[in-house]
Amino acid sequence: MRVPRRGLLFVAAVFGAAMTLLSPSVAFADYHGSETDYGVSRGIPDDDKYRTCIIYLGADSPGGVCFESGGDYFYVMDDLKDGYAAVAEWYTEGNVRAGSCVNKLGAGTTAFCNKNFPENDYIYFRLALYNSGDYVRAVSGWKRAII
């Protein structure tokens, strides 16, 4: 039995489309840790109650990151128009949980991520730069804060 050429082309096209949709490497970026949150636009409140920050100032500043233990909030500032996303990488004491708060809003913006951590523990965080989910470099060292 001979299969028409048009039928073979149709089967090959359907198979190729299905493999593209099912491939996890197409859909997911690799940020730090297993919890990735994409921040929403929100400024940092004026009061600095329970907030620990890493902030860089100046014309070439990549931005900064703040952790607010009063609500388990991350604020990630992206101050440089360099095409990279500013990212807060974090992990809890003992490396029980780890993740990222990603600012994909562009230069001159602050992204907000709302997390929920157990009280009276420590969290470590730093500012890093990513390019479409690919790690570029760490901007700061790790800073410790109490949750």
CA distance 3 to 47: 73
Convert the pLDDT of each residue in 7-55 to its tens digit: 544 544 444 444 444 444 334 568 999 999 999 998 888 876 788 999 8
The CATH number assigned to the domain holding 120 equals 2.60.40
Measured CA distances, 27 to 55, 59, 86, 125 (Å): 32, 35, 20, 26
Structure tokens that stand for 39 in this block: 């921040």
Contact 69, 119 (CB under 8 A): no
The pLDDT, as a whole number, for residue 22 is: 40
| Number of domains composing the chain | 1
CA distance 64 to 88: 9
pLDDT in tens, 98-137: 999 999 999 999 999 999 999 999 999 999 999 999 999 9
| Average predicted confidence (pLDDT) for the chain | 83
Q: Are strands 122-131 and 143-146 parallel, antiparallel or unpaired?
A: antiparallel
For residue 59, being part of any structural domain is answered with yes
138 or 4, greater pLDDT: 138
**What number of other Cβ atoms are within 10 A of residue 76's Cβ?**
28
In a domain, 53, yes or no: yes
Q: 78: domain range?
A: 30-146
The model's pTM: 0.78
